[in-house]
Structure 1
Amino acid sequence: MFTQKFLVALLLAASLVSASVLRFGLDKRIKKRAPGDVITKCTVNNTVALTFDDGPYIWLNEIVDTLNAANAKGTFFFNGDNFGCIYDEAMTARVKYAYDHGHQMASHTWRHLHLNTLNEHQLHVEMWAVEEAIYRITGVYVAFTRPPFGEYNALVQQVAAARGQTLANWDFDSRDAAGASMAQTLGAYTNLIGSRPPTILTLNHEVNPDTPRDLPNIIRELQAAGYQLVTLAECLGQEPYQFVSPPQVRDASWTCGRR
């Protein structure tokens, strides 16, 4: 016979496990992936995936409008609390605007930390917090994570796999985060297009003030060369999200203050 004390302890342990599962989003809808899933290239011929890191930020709607005017799609790797809190009403509206206009949502983790310096628990928190935020705002549970600085190790891969995430880096860096001028960024794109790779997976930064001004010329050159400008998932022939539900209603928990 179990003692009352033992049964109480057992129920408490079960509740803690359940809370951990819910907190980190590890429910039955999460699709575990192989720990080696790190992509750097598109696989669908003649496609370009324009991706934008570090948002949501003040130029997001302008970038979305520029893409849509050219019948192009982009992928946005969002942080939760980097250049601003994703739960701020203006930021939330921008995320929803990008999603509602047909662009792909993806994770860039919560605070843009060096993931290869974190332990397993910290990694789950950094990934889960922004996954939850995007899910609350849009109703989609993302399937792709870009590690900040492109840095990862075996533990990062293991945690990403447990979360159903594919790690997504790039094969072309626009250098817009390294101080490249508008002319230098456009020149780098022009040189790349001239070498005519079968696919391109780009790294751009939404928070760079030159990005909205560079983008029309970049799009024009890529499309003139015959490339299709698609989302990351489309350039890989994969699904963009693990599951999709209705967006949630804002409440008092929509804050960056308690992370």
Structure 2
Amino acid sequence: MLFETVVLLLPFTLSLARPPPIIDDASPPRATVYSGCKVNNTVALTFDDGPYIHMNNISDMLTNASAKGTFFVNGHNYDCIYDKKVAARVQYAYEQGHQIAAHTWSHPDLSSLNMTEMADEFTKINDALLKVLGIKTPFMRPPYGSYNNLVRQVAYQMNQSLVVWDLDSGDSVGATLQESEGNYTMAIASRPANILALNHETVKTTAASLVPFAINALQNAGYQLVTVADCLGLDAYSYQADQVGTWDKSWFCPEDEDGDDN
């Protein structure tokens, strides 16, 4: 399966000079790209590539620390989001008040796709989030942080903004736990107004050790740990049903021949 790599920023660094969101008035219209938070004294801890086996533990650690996180999830990357156990994970995090947003269906480099292929990646994960959680998300993260004007055009058509990051823990590109902790320590020492941090819930050491380290270090530095939506001062969802979805036989990944429901 695919892991994130960094294409927008050098690994292990915090971007201190943050440009405002990119809004291009040229035709055709393109989605806004957020590369950092806007609300002072906030940190958005984000977790990519799930829903994976560590999702519940990460959710619990955040909740127990009175913190919130944001999970950018795939439809069929490590697991099929429609499998009962996998759907239960994302529902668990959502019901704890963490934000759930889109990370494409199968984790491709969107900039390598044509418009039809790209729209399919957006539509399938958005449909899954509507079925499983009863939500429509206005936020998506392109895999690898890779996007071009066509990606922004399709995102705009889907009523979504792109969210990248200004701090990379480095967990998906071979950083040791100590190096990832060092990235947070250096970022905190520079005392930015806010931080939008990239992590991966698929990395065992991130779930077991980096998350509690980051929570403790950031809170001790006086930051509020909030969702991406809260750190941007925006709504987390453009639609929310009264309750999450209930599994049925229509929940299956098209790549799975027999609609496995394990």
Q: Same fold (TM over 0.5)?
A: yes
Alignment gaps of 5+ in structure 1: 1-32
TM-score by length of 2: 0.84
Q: CA deviation at 1:249?
A: 2.9
Distance in structure 2 (CA, Å) of the matches to 1:80 and 1:58 = 14
The 10-residue stretch of structure 1 (70-79 or 206-215) with the greater mean CA deviation from structure 2: 206-215
TM-superposed CA distance for 1:257, in Å, is: 2.7
Q: Distance in 1 between matches of 2:92 and 2:148?
A: 34
1:249 alignment partner, one of 225, 246, 249: 246
* Distance in structure 2 (CA, Å) of the matches to 1:64 and 1:114: 27
1:105-164 Cα offsets, whole Å, 9 max, x none, are 100000000101111111111011111111111111111000000011111100000101
Aligned CA-pair RMSD: 1.3
Q: Which residue among 181, 195, 218 is the counterpart of 2:176?
A: 181
Counterpart pick for 1:46 among 31, 41, 50:
41
Check if 1:210 corresponds to 2:210: no
Q: State how far apart, in whole Å, the 2-side matches of 1:89 and 1:36 are.
A: 33
Letter in 2 for 1:224: N
Match for residue 137 of structure 2?
Answer: 142
2:226 paired with 1:222: no
**Partner Cα separation in structure 2 for residue 171 and residue 99 of structure 1:** 24
User: Is 1:98 matched up with 2:93?
Assistant: yes
* Greater share of helix: 1
Displacement over 4 Å in runs of 4+: none
Aligned identity (percent) is 48
Q: Secondary structure in 2 aligned to 1:68?
A: helix
Whether the 8 Å CA contact 1:42–1:200 is kept in 2: the answer is yes
- Deviation of 1:211 after TM superposition, in Å, equals 1.1
Corresponding residue of 2:51 = 56
The AA in structure 2 aligned to 1:150 is: G
Deviation, structure 1 residue 247: 2.9
SS at match of 2:111: helix
Flag the 1:41–1:255 CA change in 2: closer, same or farther, 3 A.
Answer: same
Alignment of 1:36-185 (within 5 A): 36-185=31-180
Aligned to 1:221, the other structure's residue is in SS state helix
Contact kept in structure 2, 1:164 and 1:242, CA below 8 Å? no
Q: In the alignment, is the contact (CA less than 8 A) between 2:91 and 2:244 conserved in 1? A: no
How far is the alpha carbon of 1:36 from its aligned partner? 4.1
> 2:213 and 2:137 mapped to 1: Cα distance?
30
Checking the alignment, whether the CA contact within 8 Å between 2:132 and 2:245 is kept in structure 1 is: yes
- 1:82–1:112 contact (8 Å) kept in structure 2: yes
What residue number does 2:8 align with?
none
AA paired with 2:106?
R
